[in-house]
Every structure is written in C-alpha cells, then in structure tokens.
Homo-oligomer: A and B are copies of this chain.
C-alpha cells in the first residue's frame, strides 16, 4: 500500500457540551492518517513548529504512519481553538493561529514521490498543485478544499480539479463552488471539470458519491452520543482512501464500500476528543460498524403484493 497525505498537523483546543480538551492532536493530516492506518501504512507530509509535542505522534508511528515528510520549522505550530454548542452541528472558531503553517511549502522526501494513492487535504490549491507535480505516477488523487480557497483562490482551485480523480467537499462548499443550489447539479458541474468522482459530505446527514453514471449515498451513523465532531471529514477521507489503497480496486462496487468504511471511521472519531477513538478501535469494530450500516439501509425492494 502506498498512500500519501499532505495536510495540517495541528494542536486543537476544543470545547463541547460534554467536556474540553487542550492542545490535543489535530489537523487534517493527523485525522486522515489515524483513520487510514487501520487499512495499512500512511506517508504524511506536513509541518510543525519547534514547540510541537512530537512525542504525541508516537502512537501514530506505531500504527505505521511515516513522518519522514513532517518538517520541523522554527516558530509556532498551527493551533485551532473552537467550540461546539448544544446541537454539535457547526464549530465556532474562537482562534486560529497558523504559525509555521502559513509558510508551508510541502516538499516530498524522495521516497514519497512514487506514492500511488494521494490525498491532498485542505490546503492552498497552489500547494496542492505543487505536491501533485512532485509525484511521479499517481494512481488515484483525491483532494479536499474549503470555503476560504473557493473564495480566495478560485482560479487555482479550478486548475487543480482538472488534475484530480476525486474531489471531496461539503454541501455548502459544493454549492459555493458551483453556484448551484441543487446538489445533483452541483456534482454534474464538478464532474464536467475534471474529477470522475465527487464526494459531497453533509456532516450528520451523510455523504453522496457522484460519478457520471451513478449516485451512491451513505447516511451518517445514528450515534446515541456524539462527543466531538472535529475531524469527521478527514477521518472519512482516511477510511475511504485507506480502503482503496489497500484493495487497489477502483470498481464502482469497491468505491461504494470505501464510502461506507469512510462513514464508519467518521462515526468512530466523533465518539471522543481528537484521534482517541481511532487509536482504540480494532479491525473487528470497523467490520461490525460496516455491518450495522448495511442493516441501517438495506431493504427488500420486492413489491408484488
């Protein structure tokens, strides 16, 4: 398995109705890696400041995450402080300090340049493009983005998506990017501009996968208690890409399974702060939850009454 992620390695401080956590592992690349590591090894490219408690990354190393691409720069690490209210639907950002992340210029170690499965987490699309140029022969490239880049780097983002196989974004971002209120039309708009697959994430309302010929939907798992929604999207991506890199099978059928595995990983991560739950669960837990997803949506369509 040859899976690469480029993204943020941060320190999060989060408050939810159920508790608070200070300076815990955060950032898209951490969440992605913790999730994907359940399928196989992951190569990570990112940057931290000289204040980052790198010993906290040990559990990820032990799970097969290769940090050879983690640059240590002089200065402060990326920190995010946020709060979720009662309904847990949207994070309220209290403070974002980019620190060394604002000067991040991803540089792939030579050994990473032959990665086949690549996830470009949410960073400046110019950097995402730059990463792509460093990879010799990618087999599958997926890219995430966010409202900030859609607004401020629209041209670069449109250039980027010409070169990616899969674009992942949330429903609000899909509408913003395409100026289409209808998600089916939004997906078509994107599919006409490069990607052959679009994953539209709707948070607690599940995720759609669109291709030119098919639509697949997986609900979010109906959990009795959601503890901290941070990282659900990147954990989803980690499960999705991890499964594809593990199986090396890009059929429609396997992509659907990957979406459900992604949804399962998203449902685990929100059961605790940071990546805690992703470090606890086993392969059996994942298989069990995928089976629960199957039960949740499966019906017999026979209508001969």
Contact = CB atoms under 8 A, between A and B. Distances in A.
Given A215-B296, A257-B299, A294-B299, A224 B305 contact: no
Nearest to A295: B214
Given A299-B260, A300-B257, A181 B222 contact: no
Given A225-B182, A287-B303, A205 B202 contact: yes
Interface string A278-302: 0000000011001101111111111
A19 B96 CA distance: 44
A166 B261 CA distance: 32
A86 B299 contact: no
Contacts of A55: none
**A contact face: mostly helix, strand, loop, or mixed:** mixed
Interface string A154-191: 00000000000000000000000000011111000000
Interface stretch (A115-123, A125-133, A245-253): A245-253
A222 B226 contact: no
This protein's copies in its complex: 2
B291 A301 contact: yes
Contacts of A216: 296-297, 299
Contacts of A181: 86-88
B301 A247 contact: no
B222 A260 contact: no
Given A249-B305, A290-B301, A294-B299, A182 B217 contact: no
Interface residues of A, number: 49
Given A222-B208, A296-B215, A296-B216, A290 B305 contact: no
Contacts of A88: 181
Contacts of A253: 299-300
A87 B287 CA distance: 37
B208 A215 contact: no
A298 B296 contact: no
Interface string A222-258: 1111100000000000000001001101000100110
Nearest to A223: B184
Contacts of A260: 299, 301
Top 4 A-B residue pairs of the complex, sorted by shortest distance between their CB atoms? A297-B297, A205-B205, A256-B299, A247-B305
Interface of A: 86-88, 181-185, 202, 205-206, 208, 214-219, 222-226, 243, 246-247, 249, 253, 256-257, 259-261, 286-287, 290-291, 293-303, 305
